[in-house]
Amino acid sequence: MIALGYCFVAMKFQLILFLLLHCFSLAYAQKHDHHWVFGQETYEPNPIFGGTDLTFGDDSVTVEIVTRDIWFRFTNASICDVEGNLMFATNGIRIIGNDQQLIENGDSINPGEVHDQFIDYGYPCAQGVVVLPSSTRDSLFFLFHMRAINSGMGICDRLQKTVVDMRLNGGKGRVISKNEIIKEHNFALGKITATKHGNGRDWWVVQPDKATNGYFKVLFQRDSVWDLQEQNIGPVYDLDDTRGQSVFSPDGSKYARYDLVNDLNIFDFDRCTGELSNPLHVTITDASDTTLVAGGLAYSPNSRFLYVSSWDRVYQFDTEASDIAASKVVVAIYDGFQLPYPTTFYMAQLAPNGKIYLSAHNQVNMLHVINSPDEPGLACDFQQHGLITPTYIVFGLPHFPNYRLGPLAGSPCDSLLSAEVQSLSGLLGVKVFPNPASEVIHIETASSAMPFEASIHDATGRLLGVYPSDESGKLSLGVGGFQSGMYYLTLKFQDGQLGYEKIFVLH
């Protein structure tokens, strides 16, 4: 018999070593979002097949024309190394490297009817993918992405995961697994986003349901999907909820969602538990106005001010005000400018230089800019068509989480050691036997008799199953159908404690 507590010394050493390496890596700027990729040809006055790339410094941005055989419209995500050098980008159908060429096995992302229909234009799913770096290997990157059933219906049927290893293929990268199904469900079209767990290392990935008040949450921990949660909270959404955006505040404490039919909904977010709370609905637009097309959201760098782009207006809300709805200030009204089409307001994204950039509803040669988003009211300095680009930017913006968010100070999960070692130290009575096993592994909580939920992952992090114990805290887990090898066993108790153990199957 092997008790989980017997592994404390080795695990504590591993965690301390990881913490030191983790803190060292945080000393870098974590410039994963410093290169933005756009793309579609511009026809006048000089035809260019390719796109515009933006490279950010701490307080600057460089604009350049890049030639590539791929378009970026709605679905747009990329990732840089910690120094800000582009590694790869995706339009939801293909993944290209920094040489603008398809990386090995980087085709056929999100296969299906919509993929085939939009293969030449990019996937039609705004906020359809988010890229997260590995917490264990600096060469691994994980794409969480949505597969649409039909672009016109506004429904996604799968949340999927694709993994890229940039160490392979001579440093050009290779997709080592793709389109792995995490959950089949009726999801909203796009709006996937993420924020750091309270320990500053792991991630919460959040995806809204379709036409409900449900939110599907993934705890992405140690390069694996460790927990799947569903929460119903706030108002029920109308079917027509495709044309908007979801966003976390930079500090991860707030989550907001907006579209022109269902208006603005703001929640508090617990980075330790993943729970949404204190829903606030704010009415902004009239759903009967058929001239409205789409809108977007972005928080200021200090997480206080929330900017809402609503077709021909942009509003600022003070989320620290006693009456958030009453704090609304109009900071921009569309000025009628065209380049070459109307430059109305669509999606928004906070940039590494502390400014917020907004796209338009058309293919245009520009971005709007909020120069001082931490300032209240008109002092935010909203500059319409403030950045002119050499090629068309069409609809969407690159989608990034806050890669620089650290641990949540003062919380129950404010460090890796307290979050993981202390939770294990309370499980001294847990026994896992036999280990190795060939047919059945027994899990018992001895005299503590605590019911739990057991999860099994394979060595690559793929979830194989979730199994509840009986009320006495016992579970017999059949492993006869598993291939010989190492697996990860996770125990989640009703009081929130987590325990981890490696198990071995030998036939």
User: What are the DSSP calls for 295-361, one per residue?
Assistant: EEEEE-TTS-EEEEEEBTEEEEEETTSSSTGGG-EEEEE----BSSSB--B--EEE-TTS-EEE--S
- Please tell me whether residues 160 and 18 are part of one structural domain: no
214: its two tokens: 């449900």
Write down the pLDDT at residue 447: 57
- Please tell me whether residues 420 and 352 are part of one structural domain: no
Phi and psi torsions of 374, nearest 5°: -80, -5
Contact yes or no for 299/250 (Cβ under 8 A): yes
Residue 111 lies in a domain: yes
Q: Are strands 305-310 and 295-299 parallel, antiparallel or unpaired?
A: antiparallel
Residue 406 lies in a domain: no
At 9 the three-state DSSP class reads helix
CB half-sphere exposure, 331, CA atoms < 13 A: 30
Is pLDDT above 50 for 120? yes
- Please tell me whether residues 448 and 375 are part of one structural domain: no
- Please tell me whether residues 200 and 186 are part of one structural domain: yes
**Binning pLDDT at 50, 70 and 90, where does residue 325 land?**
very high
- Please tell me whether residues 124 and 34 are part of one structural domain: yes
Which segments of 363-493 are extended strands (E)?
363-370, 382-394, 431-433, 440-444, 452-458, 463-468, 474-478, 485-493
- Please tell me whether residues 388 and 429 are part of one structural domain: no
Is pLDDT above 70 for 496? no
- Please tell me whether residues 370 and 450 are part of one structural domain: no
Residue in the structure block whose two tokens are 């920094």? 98
Q: Which residues pair with 224 in a beta bridge?
A: 221
Minimal CA–CA distance to 40: which of 475, 393, 466, 430?
A: 393
Boundary (domain end) residue, out of 338, 365, 394: 394
**Binning pLDDT at 50, 70 and 90, where does residue 459 land?**
low
Is pLDDT above 60 for 327? yes
Number of domains in the chain: 2
Residue 335 lies in a domain: yes
136: its two tokens: 């264990």
Residue 402 lies in a domain: no
Average pLDDT over residues 34-55: 75
**How far is it, in rounded angstroms, from Cα 261 to Cα 39?**
29
Write down the pLDDT at residue 450: 78
Boundary (domain end) residue, out of 346, 368, 394: 394
499: domain CATH number? 2.60.40.3080
- Please tell me whether residues 482 and 442 are part of one structural domain: yes
Write down the pLDDT at residue 493: 77
pLDDT in tens, 339-365: 889 999 999 999 999 999 999 988 899
Contact yes or no for 83/28 (Cβ under 8 A): yes
Peptide linkage before 436 cis (omega within 30 of 0): yes
Phi and psi torsions of 46, nearest 5°: -120, 115
352: domain CATH number? 2.130.10.10
35: its two tokens: 């290169």
115: its two tokens: 């993929």
Task: Enter the DSSP assignment of 72.
Answer: B
pLDDT in tens, 183-204: 999 999 889 999 999 888 899 9
Residue 403 lies in a domain: no
- Please tell me whether residues 341 and 420 are part of one structural domain: no
Give the structural domain span for 60: 23-394
Write down the pLDDT at residue 240: 62
pLDDT in tens, 251-270: 999 999 998 888 999 999 99
Reported pTM: 0.79
Residue 401 lies in a domain: no
CB half-sphere exposure, 460, CA atoms < 13 A: 12
pLDDT in tens, 221-249: 878 887 788 999 999 987 666 678 999 99
156: its two tokens: 């996604």
- Please tell me whether residues 180 and 46 are part of one structural domain: yes
Residue 407 lies in a domain: no
Write down the pLDDT at residue 411: 66
Minimal CA–CA distance to 126: which of 345, 465, 396?
A: 396
Q: Which residues pair with 369 in a beta bridge?
A: 357, 383
- Please tell me whether residues 118 and 239 are part of one structural domain: yes
**Binning pLDDT at 50, 70 and 90, where does residue 424 land?**
very low
Residue 404 lies in a domain: no
Boundary (domain end) residue, out of 366, 394, 422: 394
- Please tell me whether residues 109 and 193 are part of one structural domain: yes
Task: Give the DSSP per-residue string, 230-296.
Answer: EEE-SPPPPS---SEEEEE-TTSSEEEEEETTTEEEEEEE-TTT--EEEEEEE--S-TT-TT---EE
**Overall residue count recorded for the chain in this entry:** 507
